[in-house]
Amino acid sequence: MSEHAAPPEGADFGHDFARALDAADPLRPYRDWFVYADDTIYLDGNSLGRLPKGTPARLQEVVGDQWGRSLIRSWPRWTEFATAVGDRLGREVLGVDDGQVAISDSTTVNLYKLINAALDLRPDRRTILIEKDNFPTDLYVVQGIAQARGITCVYLDSDIDRGVDVSLVADALSDDVALVVLSHVAYRSGALADMVSITAAAHEAGALTLWDLCHSAGSVRIPLREATADFAVGCTYKYLNAGPGAPAYLYVRRDLQSQARQPIWGWFSQRDQFGMDQQYAAADGMARFLTGTPNMLGIASVDEGLNAIADAGIGQIQEGGRLLTGYAQLLADEWLRPLDFAVASPRQPSRRGAHLTLHHEQAWQVCQAMIARDVVPDFRTPDRLRLGFSPLTTSYDEVWRGLDQIRQIVQVGEHLAFPTERAAVT
Amino acid sequence: MSEHAAPPEGADFGHDFARALDAADPLRPYRDWFVYADDTIYLDGNSLGRLPKGTPARLQEVVGDQWGRSLIRSWPRWTEFATAVGDRLGREVLGVDDGQVAISDSTTVNLYKLINAALDLRPDRRTILIEKDNFPTDLYVVQGIAQARGITCVYLDSDIDRGVDVSLVADALSDDVALVVLSHVAYRSGALADMVSITAAAHEAGALTLWDLCHSAGSVRIPLREATADFAVGCTYKYLNAGPGAPAYLYVRRDLQSQARQPIWGWFSQRDQFGMDQQYAAADGMARFLTGTPNMLGIASVDEGLNAIADAGIGQIQEGGRLLTGYAQLLADEWLRPLDFAVASPRQPSRRGAHLTLHHEQAWQVCQAMIARDVVPDFRTPDRLRLGFSPLTTSYDEVWRGLDQIRQIVQVGEHLAFPTERAAVT
């Protein structure tokens, strides 16, 4: 599919064509690596990825053998588990050399640690730039730190559909900006930021960068190395398929590690941890960015989730995502545009991650009607239907059937029977 | 066993007596609730508790059904899971009313959040008191915060065997002390602090208290309510049997919650979380002290681990711990004192938690020799052998055989073949 894809000549919108695309899909064998418990059409692998078939047995090994049988004799394998699996995630997903990634805490806590570390590295600067439509937890962490440290928070006025571009960042940079906090793929629209150019602009102005990779890691190539990006964080339960609340990861470029101070000093970030010294001395390398005892079952899930990604390769996965979102866009243009839907994501596949967002004034009602038909999308405020395509687990058949269901629902007004207001807590 | 127990008249040190104690033990049925994979003598349940038999199936339910089958449709049950299980832990283990406990993050991260919250509640005070022999992660978190905020850290010069008493704390209190950070049960000696008196002394001086319950919760009654203690944290993988790296918990007394500011603002601490508002507004109640997405498998493990505790009741568990440590002390006095061991823990059962620490100059070598015989204790710097007795899972037979093994090892000098120096990283 070319960069500026118009519907190809003779595009075929029939179900057989979707099946033919599946038959030709080089990623098709990986669907056998995951659990499909029923006929649900799951267009939300970018919110919670599917369960890999190998994960239950792997967890049973950790629970039954390492915990149940070996008990504390498993400590030698646990003490370096967070950095060992971090290294693997770094190589297979983030494209960086060993010694720069660790599995730790949640994305929120990792943001907190690294934003503070970045501010300490630029003590004369008092401003953080952040996209106003960054994921809420990124905004909240920045707001809390800004309040506590008396830092100014400047919000980049990005378009919620097109995301952030280098000129918007460049215009806001100044010699007071310590740090730029951005998502690589926007959680709402799927817009893919130009990490290389934006990082270069930030560095030019003497600022550091922190990239949130939650919605990009495992779906597109991450140019951390090419960008010489400073810091990054991400979760593992979306395209990395590690399960609900599995631990997150953080990346710190090697040359920054020894200068960086992270604020939550715990026994896992201590040099000679089992020396039990009464005075803190920060460990070298990525261990410095750990805190308390890591979640061992969660790290095992992360490791297991990496198997399919490592086998397929991130290049092939990225290509699969572009084809899936491209195909969904064709169907949306053909079937849903007449029903008052519009593609809200950037239209060029190379300008987005692996999800496609549709605008519709009754998006919340449509979302509820879809779920009632066992088609699972995500609603995004204020009026967006977010369709996530996980290249390893979503088939063209699922895309066809999912969009066909939306068409059926809206054609007959089935969604109008559902509430227009979402409950305050869902 | 009375408070000031001397060896009873006609104390029987034979193996049959241990078996008779087991036969009469009201907690004996609970041993069937846990996995005993082999004949290991496990005297380290205070480091990592045993695997409950129900946990693998419970995890399979979360993994297979909630994740694998229901996927994001499980969110409604996950959003309040951290506070629901927190409430249960509060009732069954901590003896406090609902709405004051949540499962979240690690002990280290929870210490960080609550120490900062406490300092913000006492803005005119610039000193933290902490026992110099508190668990290292407590010391490190305090040191990091003290450095970042320009706070003075005063170390209580406690005796490492007797722990901290109220007069030591009272002497160090002043109108500059914002917070007192102590462990309820000392990780090294097992000494039990007088939470009620110490909290009263702190409050009298206008200071707040933060209790680390890692080594006490699940083994002794926790008088948080009686003490009107302010804050507490603890882990779940020791006497709560939730597995390696399972999430920790935090307690905030109800009347402090709305005034307290925790520093890590995340989407799980946001009011109307799924409103995705761009401006942070702290949730009410314990949700305010959450951060990012909680570890759902871990919370399920915590919930599962609570079953046996809830069934037995913490009063009966505390009594069981006193009897086990009392019995171990009798055997240590009789068998090991002649071999240059000394009981380092407080001698009165009511003055300690459920572990007993022995001093021996070659403790590290003895520890290694024990592990080689499948007897698992813990070594504690500089020369302590720590024997943990988990009332629900440790039998008198195990105590008898464990101490008998130590006797056999040291009588023939078997331990002298092991290294005298521990490796820098174990």
What is the SS3 string spanning A106-167? CHHHHHHHHHHHHHHHCCCCCEEEEECCCCHHHHHHHHHHHHHHCCEEEEECCECCCECCHH
**Chain B contact present for A421, CB below 8 A:** no
Q: Could you give the CA distance from residue A53 to residue A49 in angstroms, rounded to a whole number?
A: 12
Per residue in A98-142, pLDDT (tens digit) is 999 999 999 999 999 999 999 999 999 999 999 999 999 999 999
Say yes or no for a CB contact (<8 Å) between A276 and B136: yes
Q: One of B42, B112, B135, B389 is an active-site residue; which one?
A: B135
Q: What is the 3-state secondary structure (H, E, C) of chain B?
A: CCCCCCCCCCCCCCHHHHHHHHHHCCCHHHHHHECCCCCCEECECCCCCCCECCHHHHHHHHHHHHHHHCHHHHHHHHCCHHHHHHHHHHHHHHCCCCCCEEECCCHHHHHHHHHHHHHHHCCCCCEEEEECCCCHHHHHHHHHHHHHHCCEEEEECCECCCECCHHHHHHHCCCCEEEEEEECECCCCCEECCHHHHHHHHHHCCCEEEEECCCCECCECCCHHHHCCCEEEECCCCCCCCCCCCCCEEEECHHHHCCCCCCCCCHHHECCHHHCCCCCCECCHHHHHCCCCCCHHHHHHHHHHHHHHHHHCHHHHHHHHHHHHHHHHHHHHHHHHHHCCEECCCCCHHHECCEEEEECCCHHHHHHHHHHCCEECEEECCCEEEEECCCCCCCHHHHHHHHHHHHHHHHHCHHHHCCCCCCCCC
pLDDT band (50, 70, 90) for residue A6: low
**Would you tell me which residues 105-124 of chain B have a C-beta closer than 8 angstroms to some C-beta of chain A?**
105-109, 112
**How wide is the angle at C-alpha A184 spanned by C-alphas A182 and A190, nearest 5°?**
115
Q: One of B188, B238, B380, B407 is an active-site residue; which one?
A: B238
Position B273 scores a pLDDT of 87
Q: One of A237, A268, A327, A341 is an active-site residue; which one?
A: A237
B116 and B66 in a single domain? The answer is yes
Asked if residues A137 and B292 have their Cβ atoms less than 8 Å apart, the reply is yes
- What are the two backbone dihedrals, phi and then psi, of residue A207, each rounded to the nearest 5 degrees? -95, 160
Q: One of A30, A42, A112, A135 is an active-site residue; which one?
A: A135
- At A340, the amino acid letter reads D
Position A275 scores a pLDDT of 85
pLDDT band (50, 70, 90) for residue A422: confident
| Residue A382 pLDDT greater than 70, yes or no | yes
Among A214-228, A268-282, A292-306, which is the least confidently predicted range? A268-282
| Residue B350 pLDDT greater than 90, yes or no | yes
Query: What are A364's two structure tokens?
Result: 């919340």
Say yes or no for a CB contact (<8 Å) between B280 and A35: no
In a domain, B87, yes or no: yes
| Residue A9 pLDDT greater than 80, yes or no | no
| Residue A258 pLDDT greater than 80, yes or no | yes
Indicate the burial class of A259 (C-beta count within 10 angstroms; 0-12, 13-18, 19 or more): exposed
**Chain A contact present for B104, CB below 8 A:** no
Say yes or no for a CB contact (<8 Å) between A62 and B244: yes
**Chain A contact present for B211, CB below 8 A:** no
Position A162 scores a pLDDT of 93
A169 and A271 in a single domain? The answer is yes
Task: State yes or no: B152 annotated in a binding site.
Answer: no
Shortest Cα distance, chain B CAs vs residue A5, angstroms: 32
**Chain B contact present for A294, CB below 8 A:** yes
Domain boundary among A256, A286, A310: A310
| Residue A251 pLDDT greater than 50, yes or no | yes
Position B7 scores a pLDDT of 61
**Chain B contact present for A285, CB below 8 A:** no
Summary mean pLDDT of chain A: 95
Partnered with residue A131 across adjacent β-strands are A156
A242 and A332 in a single domain? The answer is no
**Chain B contact present for A292, CB below 8 A:** yes
Say yes or no for a CB contact (<8 Å) between B266 and A109: yes
Residue with tokens 């190539």: A221
Q: Could you give the CA distance from residue A391 to residue A378 in angstroms, rounded to a whole number?
A: 17
In a domain, B224, yes or no: yes
Shortest Cα distance, chain B CAs vs residue A375, angstroms: 11
Mean pLDDT of A150-166: 95
Report strand pairing: B249-252 vs A152-156: unpaired
Per residue in B110-138, pLDDT (tens digit) is 999 999 999 999 999 999 999 999 999 99
Say yes or no for a CB contact (<8 Å) between B78 and A140: no
In a domain, A262, yes or no: yes
How many Cα atoms within 13 Å fall on the side-chain side of residue B107?
28
Q: Which chain A residues are within 8 Å of B148, Cβ to Cβ? A: 263
Q: Could you give the CA distance from residue A374 to residue B195 in angstroms, rounded to a whole number?
A: 54
B318 and B304 in a single domain? The answer is no
Summary mean pLDDT of chain B: 95
Give yes or no: B165 in active site. Answer: no
Q: Which chain B residues are within 8 Å of A247, Cβ to Cβ? A: 295
In a domain, B362, yes or no: yes
Give, for A103, the enclosing helix (H) or strand (E): strand A101-103
Of A107, A296, A301, the CB nearest to B292: A107
Q: Could you give the CA distance from residue A198 to residue B73 in angstroms, rounded to a whole number?
A: 37
Give yes or no: B386 in active site. Answer: yes
| Nearest-by-CA chain B residue for A75 | B426
Of B106, B264, B295, the CB nearest to A112: B264
Of B273 and A205, which is predicted with more confidence?
A205
In sequence order, what E strands does A200-335 have?
208-212, 231-234, 249-252
In a domain, A388, yes or no: yes
Give yes or no: B237 in active site. Answer: yes
**Would you tell me which residues 344-373 of chain A have a C-beta closer than 8 angstroms to some C-beta of chain B?**
371
pLDDT band (50, 70, 90) for residue A2: very low
Asked if residues A179 and A122 have their Cβ atoms less than 8 Å apart, the reply is yes
Say yes or no for a CB contact (<8 Å) between A270 and B380: no
Q: One of B231, B237, B239, B251 is an active-site residue; which one?
A: B237
What letter would DSSP give residue A185?
B
| Nearest-by-CA chain A residue for B237 | A293
Of B71, B291, B378, the CB nearest to A44: B71
| Residue B96 pLDDT greater than 90, yes or no | yes
**Would you tell me which residues 249-278 of chain A have a C-beta closer than 8 angstroms to some C-beta of chain B?**
263-270, 272-278
A305 and A322 in a single domain? The answer is no
Domain boundary among A292, A310, A328: A310
Position B3 scores a pLDDT of 43
In a domain, B290, yes or no: yes
For the question of an ipTM over 0.90, the answer is: yes
A204 and A342 in a single domain? The answer is no
Position A159 scores a pLDDT of 92
**How wide is the angle at C-alpha B403 spanned by C-alphas B400 and B404, nearest 5°?**
80
pLDDT band (50, 70, 90) for residue A11: confident
Position A7 scores a pLDDT of 61
Domain boundary among A310, A341, A374: A310
B92 and B80 in a single domain? The answer is yes
Position B276 scores a pLDDT of 85
Per residue in B53-88, pLDDT (tens digit) is 999 999 999 999 999 999 999 999 999 999 999 999
Mean pLDDT of A9-25: 91
Task: State yes or no: B108 annotated in a binding site.
Answer: yes
Q: Which chain A residues are within 8 Å of B68, Cβ to Cβ? A: 35, 37, 50-51
Q: One of B386, B389, B396, B407 is an active-site residue; which one?
A: B386
B291 and B178 in a single domain? The answer is yes
Distances B419 to B222, B403, B410, B414 between C-alpha atoms, Å: 40, 22, 15, 12
| Residue A425 pLDDT greater than 90, yes or no | no
Residue with tokens 């009375």: B2
Which of B194, B197, B195, B221 has the alpha carbon at shortest distance from B210? B195
Helix axes A314-331, A396-412, angle to 10 degrees: 30
Task: Specify the CATH number for the domain of residue A256.
Answer: 3.40.640.10
Residue-by-residue DSSP string for A231-266: EEEE-SSSTT---TT---EEEE-HHHHTT---S---
Buried b (16+ CB within 10 A) or exposed e, B318-354: bbbbbbbbbbbbbbbbebbeeeebebbbbbbbebbbb
Say yes or no for a CB contact (<8 Å) between A264 and B291: no
- At A28, the amino acid letter reads R
Say yes or no for a CB contact (<8 Å) between A79 and B107: no
Q: Which chain B residues are within 8 Å of A144, Cβ to Cβ? A: 263-265, 280
In a domain, A326, yes or no: yes
A383 and A304 in a single domain? The answer is no
**Structural domain range at position A403:** 15-33+313-417
Q: Residues of chain A with pLDDT > 90: what percent?
A: 94
Position B423 scores a pLDDT of 66
Asked if residues A229 and A211 have their Cβ atoms less than 8 Å apart, the reply is yes
Say yes or no for a CB contact (<8 Å) between B266 and A422: no
B123 and B209 in a single domain? The answer is yes
Q: Which chain B residues are within 8 Å of A294, Cβ to Cβ? A: 106, 245
* Total tally of structural domains belonging to chain B: 2
Q: Which chain B residues are within 8 Å of A268, Cβ to Cβ? A: 108
Which of B353, B391, B388 has the alpha carbon at shortest distance from B367? B388
A235 and A332 in a single domain? The answer is no
pLDDT band (50, 70, 90) for residue A274: confident
Task: Specify the CATH number for the domain of residue A372.
Answer: 3.90.1150.10
Query: What are A75's two structure tokens?
Result: 């400590």
Q: Could you give the CA distance from residue B353 to residue B217 in angstroms, rounded to a whole number?
A: 9
A274 and A151 in a single domain? The answer is yes
Size of interface A-B (CB pairs under 8 A): 269
Per residue in A55-108, pLDDT (tens digit) is 999 999 999 999 999 999 999 999 999 999 999 999 999 999 999 999 999 999
In a domain, B10, yes or no: no
